[in-house]
Amino acid sequence: MEKGTCITFLALLLSSSSSANHEPTLRAVVSQLYQVLLLSWAALPELPLRELWRQFRAWVAVPLLRLAVFVCLVMSMMVLVEKVAMALITLYAKVFRRRPVRIYKCDPLTEDEEMGSLAYPMVLVQIPMYNEKEVYQLSIGAACNMVWPRDRIIIQVLDDSTDPLIKELVKKECEMWSERGKNIRYERRANRIGYKAGALKVGMRYSYVESCEYIAMFDADFQPAPDFLLRTVPFLVHNPKIALVQSRWKFVNASECLMTRMQEMSMNFHFKVEQESGSTACAFFGYNGTAGVWRIRAIHEAGGWQDRTTVEDMDLAVRAGLAGWKLVYLGDVKVNSELPSTFKAYRYQQHRWSCGPANLFRKIVLNVLMAKGASMSMKFYVIYNFFVARRIVSHFVTFSFYCVIIPLSVFFPEVTIPRWGLIFVPTTITLINAVATPSSIHLVIFWVVFENVMSLHRCKAVLIGLLETGRVNEWIVTEKLGDTLKTKSNTSATKRFRFKIKERVNLLEIMVGMYLLVCACYDSVYRDDLYFIFIFPQSVAFIIMGFGYIGTIIPGDK
């Protein structure tokens, strides 16, 4: 029986069965509707499968792909304009020497005969930590060795560790420095509510904090130089409208492996261009959560620490900026820190750094628009430049355009991508990023494919943050190795690698890598646009990182 005959017979059968019941029931209505649909489908001419695909391709697939290309080109231009603008502002600041030391008063603080050490303000140094076995000694020791009058500084270790052994080690380290004459306090709380933001909020409630004017904050893997306070606090003392002085991060393990070299390139651009341009243009940028000094009054006026997202530092900076406070970035003050050198740790970090800002944007955008103390230009800068262009669009366009749309277009010769969007725009963006780390300019190709792989996780994290689903509030402390690799043997590292190989496999990266490999092979055989020159290395990068062959291998007896 032919297809049309079968469908007609089925429709008549349904009609006869429903006509027996004359009541206007729901079943009867649905049956009549289904009869109309079946008869309409039977009346259509029978088309071969190939013809159906041709029509679907012409009327649906190609228009949608062209629309996707157009949207990606628009987003690419948004990112390009933002990158060029930041680069030009940074270049202006460098050429015309528009540095904070020339803009703001920052005379060194000195003791006088009448006041003595009281000429120095009271400073609280906060070190939040959580099971930081490898680095707790480094951070506490560096904080205790900072040059500042002993009676004008309090070092506060906020320990949220859950490991009894680590808790005891940190406590003994604090007791040791206390015996040496340092005013150091070891503080614990009953729970980890709010994670880091919760710890900082609780830390400010102790009675001895009321005597302090400023707070210097350092994560557990940060090691400030002895003169850190001497070079940063004067900006706050002499300029009452400055709320924050942010220093630059310097990475002690940047040359440990190829992955840390790639991270250094990205982080150097962030500090040398993003933070520098924000500080120069409008005295506003995102607080990095560590290696900075805050005015306590500014924290209170901005609403204090809030744990509504995983980027409590950015949240506070935005609220302070909208309240009229100025933020200053000191690029010449560097604090030693550690980059995550395992792929797993880096993925968790990037999830938090991408999901948190997107979720914060969702929660704060209306507050920004309604802020009474902020100008329209400031509101536009915060919404468009700070959030949309840098922290949402940049992640979407990197993954969707270069890892999905361009590879998919090889199957549709009707879709053309202009050369300026395919070559010139991404090349310009890449060069602007790479110029911040001249010593690694030869690794720019590796950096491109590495960033494209990471854009998969960043794009996913942004969606989670905007939609506020899944892992939106996930907070996994970035694992630090400290001197672990220097004290463990290569044999133990090899054993761990062999034993934990299954834990290193990432199916999502492998699936995308295989998709790109198919696209590259098809392009090389059936097309002459040479897209495979880009797509094939990208597929290899996804597959390599999918099997975990990147980063440092943690010794087994860690």
Kindly indicate the confidence band of residue 373, based on its pLDDT and cuts at 50, 70 and 90: confident
> Quick check: pTM over 0.85?
yes
Choose the catalytic residue: 219, 221, 313, 523.
Answer: 313
What per-residue confidence (pLDDT) applies to 483? 59
Percent over 90 (pLDDT), the chain: 77
Kindly indicate the confidence band of residue 478, based on its pLDDT and cuts at 50, 70 and 90: confident
- Is residue 507 pLDDT above 60, yes or no? yes
Q: Which two tokens stand for residue 434?
A: 């790479």
Could you tell me which residues come within 8 angstroms of residue 314 by beta carbon, excluding any fewer than 6 positions away? 286, 287, 289, 356, 357, 360
Q: How close are the terminal C-alpha atoms of the chain, in Å? A: 71
| Sheet with 292-295, side-by-side order of all strands | 184-187, 153-159, 123-129, 214-217, 292-295, 242-251, 326-337
DSSP assignment of 8-32 equals HHHHHHHHHHHHT--S--HHHHHHH
DSSP SS3 for 354: helix
What per-residue confidence (pLDDT) applies to 117? 81
Exposed/middle/buried for residue 180 (C-beta within 10 Å: 0-12, 13-18, 19+) = exposed
φ and ψ at residue 518, rounded to 5 degrees = -60, -45
Query: In the predicted model, what is the mean pLDDT of the chain?
Result: 89
- Is residue 108 pLDDT above 60, yes or no? yes
CB environment 143-173: b (16+ within 10 A), e (fewer): bbebebeeebbbbbbbbbbeeeebbebbeeb
Out of 248-262, 395-409, 500-514, least confident range: 500-514
The C-alpha R_g of the chain, in whole angstroms, comes to 29
CA atoms 40, 45, 49, 55: torsion sign:
negative
Calculate mean pLDDT across residues 504-510: 90
- In 132-241, at which residue ranges do the beta strands (DSSP E only) sit? 153-159, 184-187, 214-217
- Is residue 52 pLDDT above 90, yes or no? no
Paired strand residues for 214: 123, 295
**Residue-wise pLDDT tens digits, 224-246:** 999 999 999 999 999 999 999 99
DSSP-derived secondary structure letter, 442: G
Q: State yes or no: is 160 an active-site residue.
A: yes
What per-residue confidence (pLDDT) applies to 539? 97
Calculate mean pLDDT across residues 314-328: 97
**Residue-wise pLDDT tens digits, 137-160:** 999 999 999 999 999 999 999 999
**What is the helix (H) or strand (E) element at residue 444, kind and residue range?**
helix 444-467
What per-residue confidence (pLDDT) applies to 93? 95
Q: Which two tokens stand for residue 359?
A: 């979720």
**Residue-wise pLDDT tens digits, 389-446:** 999 999 999 999 999 999 999 999 999 999 999 999 999 999 999 999 999 999 999 9
- Is residue 4 pLDDT above 50, yes or no? no
The amino acid at 255: S
Out of 6-15, 264-273, 279-288, least confident range: 6-15
φ and ψ at residue 153, rounded to 5 degrees = -145, 140
Paired strand residues for 551: 342
Choose the catalytic residue: 159, 160, 219, 221.
Answer: 160
**Residue-wise pLDDT tens digits, 156-201:** 999 999 999 999 999 999 999 999 999 999 999 989 999 999 999 9
Q: How far apart are CA 471 and CA 474, in angstroms?
A: 5
